[in-house]
Amino acid sequence: LCNHLLYITTMADDSNTAQSGKRRKLDESTTTTTITEEQSPLSSLLPPPQIRTIITQYLQDDIPSHFDVGGHVVGNTIQKAELWMKSPGVLAGIPFFNATFDVCGSCQITWEDIAMEGQSYPNASGDNKIKLATVTGPVSHLLRGERTALNTLSRCSGVATLSNECVQIAKSNQWKGLVAGTRKTTPGFRLVEKYGLLVGGAATHRLDLSQMVMLKDNHVWACGGSIERAVKKARVVSGFSQKIEVECQSLAEAMIAAEAGADVVMLDNFEPEQLKKDAKVFKEKFPHVTVEASGGITMETMPDYFSEDVDVISQGKLTQGYDCVDFSLKIVH
């Protein structure tokens, strides 16, 4: 990252860009987006080919399969559209917003200095809209990308907002563990929601079935009911490079899993006091094994589960029950 700037660009000639403060003014004939690393510090996690493929799929879902009559009505004159935040929340999803207009082509985006991923804007509202960016390009391109760009931004920001609220609760209670999401994500939207977790300060948990082995109750039952057999069979093929987690319904099951070589035990659907008691007993024997608490935990009940013996608290609601943050993209007229 040269001079702490991250470039997401196609058909751009760097020699034709000139710096102005913290922003860059870009040639309107190119499809170029420039944003500082400070404004989007996690964007380098997203490989450009992968994000472009995902955004292309989103656009194909929304773009007319034959004629775009609305696009014909507005034409291809160069116009500007302003991005406004209209409800409180944490901003997240800038790379997806940028990639949408990159795929649409011939657009440029200039982000305001105040636009920072991970930043909370508690005072944003319909009466107190906050301008975050200006998109310039053929007006038909702006309108084709509008809804996809707003959908990804609003949902990613929603996940980040809820995640950040939970992380702040953990910090205020001096709990040192990790707040995490789960694999309960929207089909086709997982990367956006997992990115939102990170921006909000939470852990993603595993990204997919291959990232970490998780042996749930169904796995154990399907292979004869033996936790030990399931763990050892998984270890043979996963080797040293993958962790193995086992979902446990009791302290006894957690002990068996750890003795068989599990790296993580999930104490699932425990009552808070029982969980803290059992986690303490477990950690006394297996201090190196990670303890995750999960199952029906919400932002409101999460403090009941805080314990020095619990390393991770995961919540499916972080990617299943979030409220979207309200944004609009309006043509300047």
pLDDT digits (tens, 9 = 90+) for 117-152: 999 999 999 999 999 999 999 999 999 999 999 999
What pTM does this model have?
0.89
Q: Closest by alpha carbon to 78, among 55, 106, 38?
A: 106
CB-count exposure of residue 210 (10 Å: 0-12, 13-18, 19+) = exposed
Q: CA angle, 322 as apex, 101 and 83 as ends, to 5°?
A: 30
Ranges of residues in the chain with a pLDDT under 50 are 1-30
179, 170 Cβ separation under 8 angstroms: yes
Residue corresponding to tokens 């020095």: 308
Can you give the pLDDT at residue 25? 36
Q: How far is CA 89 from CA 51, 93, 156, in A?
A: 24, 12, 11
Nearest to 244 by CA among 268, 269, 219: 219
Nearest CA-CA partner of 297 in 208, 169, 201: 169
What's the length of the chain? 333
Looking at the annotation, which residues are catalytic?
184
pLDDT at 63: 86
Structure confidence at residue 34 (pLDDT): 66
Three-state DSSP at 246 gives strand
Q: What is the pLDDT of residue 36?
A: 86
Q: What pLDDT is attached to residue 257?
A: 98
Contacts of 38 (CB under 8 A, 6+ apart): 4, 116
Task: Report CA 115 to chain centroid distance, whole Å.
Answer: 17
HSE of 101 in the Cβ direction (CA atoms, 13 Å)?
36
**Please, are residues 330 and 81 in contact by the beta-carbon 8 Å criterion?**
yes
Alpha-carbon distance 27 to 11, whole Å? 11
